[in-house]
Amino acid sequence: MTELEQYIKSYFGVVKQDELATIGSLFKSTTLHKGDYFLKTGQRCDKLSFIQSGLLRIFVSTENKEVTQWISTKGYFVTDISSLVFGGPSRWTIQTLTDATLYTINRTDYERIGELVPKWHELEKLFIVKCFTILEDRIFSHLSMTAEERYHFFFENNRELFNQVPLQYIASMLGMTPETFSRIRKKQIS
């Protein structure tokens, strides 16, 4: 059983063995090297990947600066869901921060997975709702917290990330400059 199948099983419990196997067979193992691009802004996103290992950074480059939207980790899916579902150009660029192993389904298979695995749409909905909730919480954090509070909140829930990726990316993701991040961090350590 692949990690993806195990993950789905542990997360949803009741999924028929054959459905699980079909899902597993449609997602092919792929590897990326550190720095490889998973997707670039403007491209149509034609794949959905489950991260078995590695870290991917989702960001946008604007005129003068780069904004990191999120860093995706092991056990989560990565894609531009809007582009995948509606077919428009991707807003994000997605690049690996480390070597990575993914299970990837291409657009063709993605578009027929619902026929092959009737339960797929429901499972997918659950994944999306889970991520939706994370986004809601992030917005709430911007409406009601200071930079320092956002830092602490994120740090408590994602300690391990702090010694795996350049901190400037975490700073950007939390909506502050590297300098502010550094000063908050200094306070916390001492």
Partner DNA sequence: TTAACTTCTTGATATTTGTCAAGAGCATTG
Partner DNA sequence: CAATGCTCTTGACAAATATCAAGAAGTTAA
Q: How far is the CB of 158 from DNA (least distance, A)?
A: 14
29 strand-pairing partners: 103
Residue 89's alpha-carbon distances to 74, 84, 104, in angstroms, are 26, 9, 19
Per partner kind, with CB cut-offs from 5 to 8 A, the member of DNA, a copy of itself, none near residue 148 is DNA
Output phi, psi for 173, to 5 deg: -60, -30
Q: How far is the CB of 166 from DNA (least distance, A)?
A: 4
Indicate the residue among 52 and 72 with the shorter CB distance to a copy of itself: 72
Q: How far is the CB of 28 from a copy of itself (least distance, A)?
A: 23
| Residue found under tokens 């949803």 | 12
The residue range among 15-23, 36-44, 128-136, 145-153 that interacts with DNA, by the rule CB under 7 A, is 145-153
Indicate the residue among 108 and 177 with the shorter CB distance to DNA: 177
CA distance 44 to 53: 24
Per partner kind, with CB cut-offs from 5 to 8 A, the member of DNA, a copy of itself, none near residue 87 is none
Residue 105 interacts with DNA (CB under 7 A): yes or no: no
State the Cα torsion 150-153-154-160 to the nearest 10°: 150
Which of 36, 136, 137, 179 binds DNA (CB under 7 A)? It is 179
State the Cα torsion 72-23-37-64 to the nearest 10°: -50
Residue 167 interacts with DNA (CB under 7 A): yes or no: yes
Three-state DSSP state, 33: coil
Instruction: Tell me which residues touch DNA (CB under 7 A).
Output: 146-148, 166-168, 175-183, 185-186
